[in-house]
Amino acid sequence: MLFGEGPGGYRILSKLGSGSGGSVYKAQKKGKIVALKIPRISGTTDLRRLKREASALSCVRNPNVAKMEEADLEGPTPFIATEFIEGQNLAEDVKSNGVYAGRYLALLADKLAFALHDVHAANIIHRDIKPENVIIAERGPVLVDFGIAMNPEETHLTRTGLVMGTPGYIAPELLEGGREGAESDWWSLCAVLAFAALGRSPFAGGGVGKILDREEKGEADLSGLPCALAPLFLKVLSPDPSARPPIKNLIDAIWQNV
């Protein structure tokens, strides 16, 4: 899409990113700057997914979750406009400024857990919690991109056997065909916190197959974490959901380590 006039009367200012699902632009209307998502619609499934994303965003009111400003799901060029969050994503922030430790890690954990609690209270599973989907803004971390979010009672919009998510951050039970639930999002959040503290995924190294294999076996590399935290991180990252302690225990331990 060329810069200039976009759908909904928005003026496209710059491109923020793109992927298989479409593109996101920095755009403006009536003086307000937004992140304008214009999906790639190739059929009814893509449109249903966009409607799910808009529904999810409209249900959550939390300062650490990006707010939806406007959506047009029926026009010739469907779009979702969310508030524009000024800042780097967590992966960029760690690369630029170093890893999180002490109080900074505790505050990051607190605010993201607060956001995710409200997401789940709205009966939504995010399904793609990863460093790139956390923007470090002036007001704190903000969870973004609900593109594959779903209500746990809803039907999947992907082909049978196709798992959506990001290697290193997708809960291991989903690799074996398990059903998404709040516990899978909490596992992903723990993996993100480990990334923030280590500067790498705890399952990184080798190709995608090796990363997923380590997840399924619970073989997280947590070398570099404080001795007081590593065992609890390992328990929360267990491949067995029933063996994972509440993430509140981990966050309490992080605060105790400040």
- Count CB neighbours of 87 within 10 A: 16
21, 40 Cβ separation under 8 angstroms: yes
Residues 6+ apart with CB under 8 A from 130: 166, 168, 169, 188, 192
Is 128 considered catalytic here? Answer: yes
Closest CA to 203 of 195, 193, 214: 214
Closest CA to 193 of 89, 108, 88: 108
Catalytic residue among 118, 128, 145, 185: 128
What's the CA gap between 216 and 8, in Å, rounded? 45
Residues 6+ apart with CB under 8 A from 40: 20, 21, 22, 23, 46
What is the separation, in whole angstroms, between the first and last Cα of the chain? 48
At residue 82's C-alpha, the angle toward residues 90 and 169, to 5°, is: 35
Catalytic (active-site) positions: 128
